[in-house]
Structure 1
Amino acid sequence: MRLSWRSVTSLAAAVACLASLLGATASPPAYGAGSERTFTLAPLAGGTDLPNPLRGQYRWLGAEPTPATATSNDVYYRDQVYWGRIEKADNAWDFSLIEAGLAEAGARGGKFGFRVMAYCPGCWMESRADFPPVTPSFVPRQSGGYLPDWNSPAFLSQWKELMAELGRRYGDDPRLGYVDVGGYGSYGEWHVDAGARISDANGLAVVHAVATAFPTKHVLINTMTPVPFTLKALKAHGNLGLRTDSLGCPDMYSMVPADVRLQEVWRTRPFFSEWCTRADPVLGAQQVRRFHVSTLSSGNMPWDHSTLTDRQRSAYVKALATAGYRIRLRSMTMPDAFAGGGRIAVRTAWANQGTAPTYDAWDVRLTFVHAATGRSVTRSLGQQLKGLVATSTRSVMVRTSGLPAGRYDVFVSVVDPSGYSVPMHLANAGRSASGAYRVGGVKVR
């Protein structure tokens, strides 16, 4: 039997009416709620620095932030923590410099990252008799006695042992944000200009040792590796992201511009960088946006900021301001009056004005502060921001139990669930000393 459009419409209306009579509801009610109101929050100026962890500029080689108005709380070590310095003899550990880096980042409220180099040709420490060699004496060498024997079972075993010890000590430290894979190649950058190269199987074993030693941290592999190898490593380890050491140089001297699959990795995993020694700040700013770079450093910066042209200086500042996540709460919608003891619908609208999402868990929290007594009640809106790009809208039912009648000021904050990092700096004006942002006022009946 075929029904006309008018018959179908009438039937649907009858079903809806019957459901209404039987008390059916499509979603839980917002008990005692009055009319909804949308509160909007003022934005910050576009170039205002947001000193959040694992975004923007990090400290490396003791370089102060450039320009001085930029905040740089994250800390990165490489020269300080090469293999021969933290393990002078087999199992003779010296982690004092790892501890120093963690302490420095912790004092700033930032995150620490490091790379262990096994080979550093031409580096300063190799010419100093008072410093141990980069490659420990117990690591086997290739013929000629200088290059590590990358494919030796002994090299792989010692590397795995080193990473396991580092992971055991620091894998759960909230101050540690990420670890470069390092290990193989000149400067730990996964390229060599002499001797035998590592096999794919052994290269994957080097990556595996780091990724499994730090399963809850971001682990980064340098993108000078061949694309098929990098894709295999990424597939094998969900915590593995990317790094390039040549921001501002052509194609960043990396394989990312050559493959669209690598260009999509940023959606779920971080891409960190540093300025190339011959960097063009205009090109670098374009690359930050195009390839969704989260962090960069001035440690290798080849020019003095004061000598840049206006165009170059503007591009450099833009690169710092937009690298990584830059999240703004556009609005929050909720009833402007409601009864306590029930639930209300709260909708949030967000915008990420940066180049990449945050890859960590942040809890969005709503706090009601009684205008007369100052008593506060906080409710979680959940982890709404992980992976946010462009814009999004979220809706959550919030319990209103514990809210006596009266007027309330409503605040929102974005909190690190571990309690280590301060609440996220949003691209909104009006941040309080506690890291919260006032949304508006409501009434509880």
Structure 2
Amino acid sequence: MVPNFNDPTYLNDFVQLLAALGRRYDGDERLSVFEFSGYGDFSENHIAYLRDSLNAAGPAPRDSVAALGYYSQFRDQNITKASIQRLVEANVSAFPRTQLVTSAANPEIIRELLADDVTKKLAAPVGIRSDCLGVYTPMPAWADGSAAHYVQTNDPVVAALRKRLSTALVITEWCQLPSGTTRQAYYEKGLRDIMRYHVSMTSSINFPDDNATSPMDPKLYVLWAQANATAGYRYSVEAKPGSQGLSKDGKVATISVVWTNYGSAAATEKWVPGYRLVDFTGQTVRTLPATVDLKSLVPEAPGDRTAQQPIPASASEAVRVELAGLPAGHYTLRASVDWQQHKPNGSHVVNYPPMQLARDGRDDSGFYPVATLDIPRDVQTATNGA
């Protein structure tokens, strides 16, 4: 049974289903992501199976604007713009507190969901869920390449999608190996696309060696493992060597700290960095805020097609430590990143430990040593007026 996605009864019933799901789950913090739903084969925003297997293609390109309200180049769409707008409104209204993602297969759905007025209604910009990592790129055919109509016409939706792929959540899944493609080429493409399109998450199944009965070829394993390790964020923090300074009046110590993201994508949830100044006994004597925006650290894809790591993105900040009231002695500046992605009036509240950084030295509370600070007695005496 294939529904008529433009039928008023179907749309009304699906809108009610989405509303019921939203009432039950939108405030539940155990639900992190909800995928735009209501249209297409496998709810993936296209009808390629209907076109290829059931001889039920969508309108031809020359007829698509009149029939659908937008241009469809590959006869893999049959939902109208009006129906899309109903489903967009229903999904957005049902899950305003939950991260939404969508397949990028339909250009009009992308245009609607990436619009500023939709973003303002949501907890975060809509992300992208891409099928077939290692086979198809996250940038869909309608928006990629010189033969694509939307590229030829310089439609703003192409640039909007490309920007969204670099700044929002991008979820992918591995795909079955196509006939005629080597496993080496498959894993190499998967890794390149993870870096190029800032993929946040891969899947744990569907890759060619998923159900293998013998060990994976070591060279292929390295590629596969690197792809999974590169996806998402991999933050680290350290002090610039020799950056500690003291103000002329001896009242403030300054330490230059560098945050770096070695992964393919920035964090999209609310992760908040901060610092502690700890004395020689391990007691916290100062709690200091950080100003760095981890979401802004988006690594670049390398230009070299053989490279297996993205180009890290870094940002520096000066951490100021007020010395008044601190006894002379040895101190350590420690950093952590706390998860604060709580939903307003949420249920089943979830709390995560501080972020695992891509470095050694984590203590039991999730903090990492960044720099040491020695306060000599003469500075302490001058600062405290003794």
Query: Could you state the TM-score of these two structures normalised by the residue count of structure 2?
Result: 0.68
1:137-216 counterparts in 2 under 5 A?
146-192=1-47, 193-194=49-50, 197-216=78-97
Give the distance between the partners of 2:320 and 2:33, measured in 1 at CA: 35
- 1:291 partnered with 2:177: no
Give the drift of 1:296. 0.7
Distance verdict in 2 for CA 1:434–1:338, change over 3 Å: farther
Give the distance between the partners of 1:179 and 1:340, measured in 2 at CA: 55
The one of 332, 335, 340 equivalent to 1:412 is: 335
1:197-276 counterparts in 2 under 5 A?
197-226=78-107, 228-235=108-115, 236-238=117-119, 239-251=125-137, 254-255=140-141, 257-258=144-145, 261=159, 262-276=161-175
| Residue equivalent to 1:66 | none
| Residue equivalent to 1:367 | 276
Give the drift of 1:376. 4.1
> Which structure would you say has the larger RCO, counting Cα contacts within 8 Å and 6 or more residues apart?
1
SS at match of 1:314: helix
Report the number of matched residues: 299
SS at match of 1:297: coil
Give the distance between the partners of 2:103 and 2:206, measured in 1 at CA: 17
Give the drift of 1:246. 0.8
| Residue equivalent to 2:239 | 331
Opposite residue 303 of structure 1, the aligned amino acid is: D
Larger gyration radius, structure 1 or structure 2: 1
SS at match of 1:329: strand
Give the distance between the partners of 1:252 and 1:440, measured in 2 at CA: 41
Opposite residue 326 of structure 1, the aligned amino acid is: R
| Residue equivalent to 1:427 | 358
Gaps of 5+ in 2: 51-55, 59-77, 120-124, 146-150, 152-157, 179-185, 299-312, 343-349, 381-386
Opposite residue 4 of structure 2, the aligned amino acid is: D
Give the drift of 1:273. 0.4
Opposite residue 301 of structure 1, the aligned amino acid is: F
Give the distance between the partners of 1:399 and 1:173, measured in 2 at CA: 41
Q: Which has the higher strand share?
A: 1
| Residue equivalent to 1:391 | 314
Query: Could you state the TM-score of these two structures normalised by the residue count of structure 1?
Result: 0.60
Opposite residue 285 of structure 1, the aligned amino acid is: L
Q: Which deviates the most, 424-433 or 257-266?
A: 257-266
Give the distance between the partners of 2:264 and 2:374, measured in 1 at CA: 38
Gaps of 5+ in 1: 1-145
Give the drift of 1:414. 0.9
- 1:37-93 CA-to-partner distances (Å, cap 9, x unmatched) read xxxxxxxxxxxxxxxxxxxxxxxxxxxxxxxxxxxxxxxxxxxxxxxxxxxxxxxxx
- 1:263-283 CA-to-partner distances (Å, cap 9, x unmatched) read 322232121100012262222
Distance verdict in 2 for CA 1:341–1:361, change over 3 Å: farther
Aligned-CA RMSD value: 3.0
Distance verdict in 2 for CA 1:371–1:219, change over 3 Å: same
- 1:184-238 CA-to-partner distances (Å, cap 9, x unmatched) read 1111111123357221221232133223322233211102213x54133211432
8 Å contact from structure 1 (residues 344, 400) kept in 2: yes
8 Å contact from structure 2 (residues 246, 252) kept in 1: no
Give the drift of 1:329. 1.5
